[in-house]
């Protein structure tokens, strides 16, 4: 792929860079939000729910990473990580608000 | 990346593998060495004598030493000798020296006197490098944890790319250049796949509290300390009452633990406020006794009358899971055979990374086989491949040579061992830049062969504890180190002789590779 790379247009390179950022930062955000969501919503004791959230967060990171390079465009990559993050952030926000009087 | 799913995954596998491969190689190699941390310590400090284990006697010695030398300290820590570690270690916090005032001594397990061993970080150096990369806290830990995640990505994308995993596992075509490297990469990768998955996921578990703090912050409203207190079931240490009260003899407490769990080996003993009326003593079972870390395997006693105050709380299912991953990663529970298996698996992991890096370059070199000069980016990868693989082996050898040759009395000699490690690494980088690729490989591997094969000799000459001595007295840690160094030397000599021999005509290989029907495999790269 490298030898072909010299002829690749700038737009392709930017798209790859964008996907990398989506995977790295967007994926981390998604994983973090998943761990928060599980920690606050899982019907377990506080320490167990937090622990399970941490243990599973890397699965989300892994899936987000794969998604960002498997989907059809860089825009979809961002959408695929940001939309679930937003939904989980909202769910966590409600759970946090209900737990803290 | 417009192609199908497997092609996209092959792309991801190739490029994350390239960018993080060099660092992952170093992390895997030093991690593999860390499975023999205590044995390397023993080799690095041959002055520490091994005695038959006698925990009761050792505890008495430690108490006597600490009462004589650290009576004023607010807390003590005692580590008992075990099958792998000869020294009885005591440490305490010097109240006058502030937060950094941590004093540590190694005592002879029979006399209770401090051992005047050479100053060396020994196996501890490789262990720390494995997850801190000699970088300031916390960057090294972040980077190495991220590398572990990339390893996990590499494994999963590798599995997706090679979905015909079993068919390819039974395919090995030796002596066919690039194809043999790929077969080897696949076979080793699949053979030790469960280990690879376990080791990379568990390294994330070890540092997850650090790299994924959001969950803890959210459910503990920012008080991470509460999370750890709940997780490890620990309480804040008692405050000193400033009323002098003699400490109960520690061997009697040891006997009480043996009543609770007969045959339990004790890892370390922690004391708060020794010699005070609020003294507290906590015994923790050795991590060698259980696969998982166990918060329940600890007993806290009143230090003035020896009454059992509390025992560690049992673990929940989630905790047992997380603690098992941590225990599996560290392998403290492993006996000699299992420990060697860990070592072999670690070497296999290192080899998978190494073969991957070699393949990345080999595949691209084929395309430039006819031209005089390699493109500069390929040359850069070649130099980094050589320096990160054979160069690292030379660095490891340099550390061990420095351990034997730097004068024992030299001030800061432990730092000089570390300097020797990095100096050897740097010189091999310079050498790789100056010499053509294949020559550089061959010369560095040949030097590595000499450096490792001669280590047993240097050991024998400088300490008098060479193979003739260690085999006779049955010092298997010392003999095992020397024999392993010899085996590594022989292996490197074999590799060097392959590299230094005239290469097969590349053009012929290229044409053969071109003829091969490759439609059944997704080409990585």
Q: Mind listing the pLDDT tens digit for each residue in B408-419?
A: 989 999 999 999
- A–B: how many Cβ contacts below 8 A? 100
| CA dist., res. B327 & res. B329, Å (int) | 5
Is A59 domain-assigned?
A: yes
Asked if residue B394 lies in contact with residue B451, where contact means CB atoms within 8 angstroms, the answer is: yes
Q: Is residue A1 part of a domain?
A: no
Work out how many domains chain A is built from and give that number: 1
Contacts of A30 in chain B (CB under 8 A): none
3-state DSSP call for residue B273?
Answer: coil
Whose tokens are 């060396």? That residue is B120
Structural domains counted in chain B = 3
Whether residues B140 and B40 share a domain: the answer is yes
Determine, yes or no, domain membership for B156: yes
| Cβ pair A32:B1 closer than 8 A | no
pLDDT of residue B101: 76
Residue A35 has its nearest CB partner, among B212, B220, B322, at B212
Q: Are residues B40 and B148 in the same domain?
A: yes
pLDDT of residue B339: 95
CB contact under 8 A, A51 and B157: no
In a domain, B524, yes or no: no
Contact B11 A36 (CB under 8 A): no
The CA distance from B315 to B311, in Å, is 12
B133 and B282 share a domain?
no
Asked if B455 and B400 touch (Cβ cutoff 8 Å), the reply is yes
- For residue B1, give the nearest of A31, A69, A92 by CB distance: A69
Helix segments in B162-241, DSSP class H: 165-169, 178-191, 193-206, 208-211, 214-219, 224-232
Clarify whether residues B41 and B74 are in a common domain: no
Cross-chain residue pair A55–B321, CB shorter than 8 Å: yes
What angle, 0 to 180 degrees and rounded to 10, lies between the N-to-C axes of helices B317-330 and B193-206?
Answer: 110
- Contact (CB<8Å) B220/A50: yes
B interface test, pick of A27, A30, A55 with most B CB neighbours within 10 Å? A55
- B179 with B254, same domain? no
Q: Are residues B135 and B98 in the same domain?
A: no
How far apart CA B140 and CA B128 sit, in angstroms, is 10
Whether B33 and A90 have beta carbons less than 8 Å apart is answered as no
B522: in domain: no
Q: Is residue A62 domain-resident?
A: yes
Distance of CA B507 to the CA centre of its chain: 42
pLDDT tens sequence across A50-70: 999 999 999 999 999 999 999
Q: From CA B63, how far away is CA B453, in angstroms rounded?
A: 43
| Chain A CB contacts of B365 below 8 Å | none
What order of strands is seen across the sheet that includes strand B298-302? B102-107, B88-93, B75-79, B266-272, B280-285, B298-302, B308-311
Strand (E) or helix (H) holding B106 = strand B102-107
Residue B322 and residue B288 in one domain: no
Q: Search chain B and give the residue with CA nearest A92.
A: B218
- Plot region of B338 (φ>0 → left; ψ -120 to 50 → alpha; else → beta): alpha
Same domain, B387 and B463: yes
Quote the tokens at residue B451. Answer: 């450096």
Token pair belonging to B28: 């895997």
User: Within 10 A of B356 (CB to CB), how many other CB atoms are there?
Assistant: 23
Chain B residues whose C-beta is within 8 A of a chain A C-beta are 1, 5, 8-9, 11-12, 14, 149, 152-153, 156-157, 201, 204-205, 208-209, 212, 214-216, 218-221, 227, 230-231, 316-319, 321-322, 364, 367, 377-378, 525
The pLDDT of residue B512: 44
Q: Judge: A35–B214 Cβ closer than 8 Å, yes or no.
A: yes
Taking the CA of residue B123 and the nearest CA in chain A, the distance in Å comes to 30
Please check whether residue A5 lies inside any domain of the structure.
no
* pLDDT at residue B330, as a whole number: 95
Q: Which residues of A touch B208 (CB under 8 A)?
A: 54-55, 57-58
In a domain, A9, yes or no: no
CB-nearest to A32 from B9, B212, B525 is B212
Q: Which domain holds residue B191?
A: 1-47+120-226+316-367
B-chain CB neighbours of A38 within 8 Å are 215
Q: Which of B208, B231, B525 is facing A47, going by the closest CB pair?
A: B231
Q: Contact A50/B219, CB-based, under 8 Å?
A: yes
CB B318 within 8 A of CB A44: yes
Query: Based on the domain organization, do B421 and B493 belong to the same domain?
Result: yes
Residue B282 in any domain: the answer is: yes
Q: Which helix (H) or strand (E) holds B298?
A: strand B298-302
Range of the domain at A91: 20-99
Partner-chain residue, chosen from B212, B317, B318, that has the shortest CB–CB distance to A57: B212
Checking ipTM against 0.90, whether it exceeds it is: yes
Q: What is the pLDDT of residues A69-92, one digit of tens each?
A: 999 899 999 999 999 999 999 999
In angstroms, the Cα distances linking B41 to A23, B80, B100, B451, B481 are 41, 16, 24, 19, 10
Whether B9 and A44 lie within 8 Å, measured CB to CB: no
CA distance B9 to A70: 7
pLDDT the model gives residue B516: 43
Inspect the interface and report whether the beta carbons of A69 and B12 lie closer than 8 Å: yes
- CB-CB under 8 Å, B204 with A62: no
Candidates B4, B15, B200, B212: best to mutate against A (most CBs of A within 10 A) is B212
Chain A residues within an 8 Å CB radius of B367: 3
What pLDDT is attached to residue B169? 60
User: Smallest Cα–Cα separation from A42: which of A92, A98, A90?
Assistant: A92
Q: Report the pLDDT value the prediction gives residue B515, as an integer from 0 to 100.
A: 43
**Interface contact B215-A50, CB threshold 8 A:** yes
Give the model's pLDDT for residue B393.
97
On chain A, the residues whose CB falls within 8 A of the CB of B216 are 39, 50, 54
Q: Which burial class, exposed, middle or buried, applies to B244 when counting CB atoms under 10 A from its CB (0-12, 13-18, 19+)?
A: exposed
In a mutational test of the B interface, the residue from A4, A54, A73 whose CB has the highest number of chain B CBs within 10 Å is: A54
Rounded CA separation B525/B511 (Å): 19
Tokens found for residue B321: 């899971």
CA distance B173 to B133: 37
Report, as ranges of residue numbers, the positions in chain B whose pLDDT lies below 70.
Answer: 1-3, 97-100, 163-172, 174-175, 502-525
Say if residue B340 is in the same domain as residue B391.
no
Class of residue B454 by CB neighbours under 10 A (exposed 0-12, middle 13-18, buried 19+): middle
**A3 lies in a domain?**
no
pLDDT in tens, B339-390: 999 999 999 999 999 999 999 998 888 888 777 778 888 999 999 999 999 9
Interface test with B, best of A5, A27, A70 (most B CBs within 10 A): A70
Assigned domain for A2 exists: no
Judgement on whether residues B16 and B145 belong to the same structural domain of the protein: yes
Is A36 part of any domain? yes
The whole-angstrom separation of Cα A42 and Cα A48 is: 9
Judgement on whether residues B505 and B429 belong to the same structural domain of the protein: yes
Residue A100 Cα distances to A94, A96, B219, B221, B291, angstroms: 10, 6, 10, 9, 38
Tell me how close the Cα of B346 comes to any Cα of chain A, in angstroms. 22
């Amino acid at each position: 792929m490298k030898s072909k790379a010299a002829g690749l247009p700038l737009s392709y390179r930017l798209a790859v860079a964008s996907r990398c950022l989506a995977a790295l930062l967007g994926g981390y955000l998604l994983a973090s939000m998943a761990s928060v969501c599980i920690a606050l919503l899982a019907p377990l004791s506080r320490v167990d729910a937090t622990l399970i959230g941490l243990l599973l967060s890397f699965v989300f990171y892994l899936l987000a990473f794969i998604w960002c390079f498997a989907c059809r465009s860089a825009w979809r990559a961002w959408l695929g990580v940001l939309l679930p993050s937003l939904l989980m952030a909202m769910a966590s926000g409600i759970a946090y608000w209900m737990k803290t009087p | 990346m417009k192609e199908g799913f497997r092609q996209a995954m092959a792309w991801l596998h190739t490029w994350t593998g390239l960018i993080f491969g060099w660092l992952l190689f170093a992390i895997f190699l030093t991690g593999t060495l860390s499975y023999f941390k205590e044995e390397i310590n023993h080799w690095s400090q041959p002055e520490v004598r091994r005695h038959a284990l006698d925990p009761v006697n050792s505890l008495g010695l430690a108490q006597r030493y600490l009462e004589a030398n650290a009576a004023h300290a607010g807390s003590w820590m005692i580590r008992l000798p075990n099958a792998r570690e000869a020294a009885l270690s005591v440490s305490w916090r010097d109240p006058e020296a502030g937060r950094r005032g941590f004093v540590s001594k190694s005592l002879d397990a029979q006399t209770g006197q401090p051992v005047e061993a050479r100053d060396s970080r020994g196996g501890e150096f490789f262990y720390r490098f494995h997850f801190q990369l000699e970088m300031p806290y916390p960057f090294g830990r972040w980077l190495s944890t991220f590398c572990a995640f990339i390893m996990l990505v590499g494994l999963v994308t590798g599995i997706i790319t090679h979905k015909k995993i079993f068919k390819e596992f039974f395919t090995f075509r030796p002596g066919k250049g690039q194809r043999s490297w790929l077969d080897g990469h696949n076979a080793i990768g699949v053979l030790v796949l469960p280990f690879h998955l376990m080791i990379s996921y568990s390294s994330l578990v070890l540092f997850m509290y650090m790299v994924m703090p959001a969950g803890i912050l959210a459910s503990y409203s920012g008080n991470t300390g509460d999370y750890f207190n709940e997780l490890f079931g620990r309480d804040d240490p008692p405050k000193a009452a400033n009323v002098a009260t003699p400490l109960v003899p520690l061997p009697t407490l040891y006997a009480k633990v043996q009543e609770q769990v007969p045959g339990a080996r004790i890892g370390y003993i922690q004391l708060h406020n020794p010699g005070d009326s609020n003294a507290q003593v906590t015994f923790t079972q050795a991590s060698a006794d259980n696969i998982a870390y166990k918060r329940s395997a600890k007993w806290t006693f009143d230090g003035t009358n020896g009454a059992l105050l509390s025992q560690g709380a049992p673990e929940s299912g989630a905790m047992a899971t997380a603690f098992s991953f941590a225990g599996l990663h560290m392998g403290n529970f492993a006996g000699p055979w299992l420990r060697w298996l860990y070592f072999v698996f670690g070497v296999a992991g290192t080899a998978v990374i190494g073969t991957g890096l070699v393949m990345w370059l080999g595949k691209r070199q084929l395309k430039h086989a006819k031209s005089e000069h390699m493109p500069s980016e390929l040359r850069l990868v070649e130099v980094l491949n050589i320096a990160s693989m054979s160069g690292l082996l030379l660095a490891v050898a340099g550390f061990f040579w420095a351990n034997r040759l730097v004068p024992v009395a030299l001030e800061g000699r432990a730092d000089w061992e570390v300097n020797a490690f990095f100096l050897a690494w740097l010189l091999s980088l310079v050498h790789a830049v100056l010499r053509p690729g294949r020559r550089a490989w061959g010369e560095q591997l040949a030097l590595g062969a000499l450096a490792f094969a001669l280590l047993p000799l240097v050991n024998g000459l400088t300490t008098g504890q060479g193979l003739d001595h260690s085999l006779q007295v049955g010092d298997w840690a010392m003999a095992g180190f020397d024999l392993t160094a010899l085996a590594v030397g022989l292996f490197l000599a074999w590799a060097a002789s392959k590299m230094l021999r005239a290469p097969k005509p590349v053009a012929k290989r290229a044409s053969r590779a071109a003829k091969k029907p490759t439609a059944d495999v997704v080409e990585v790269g």
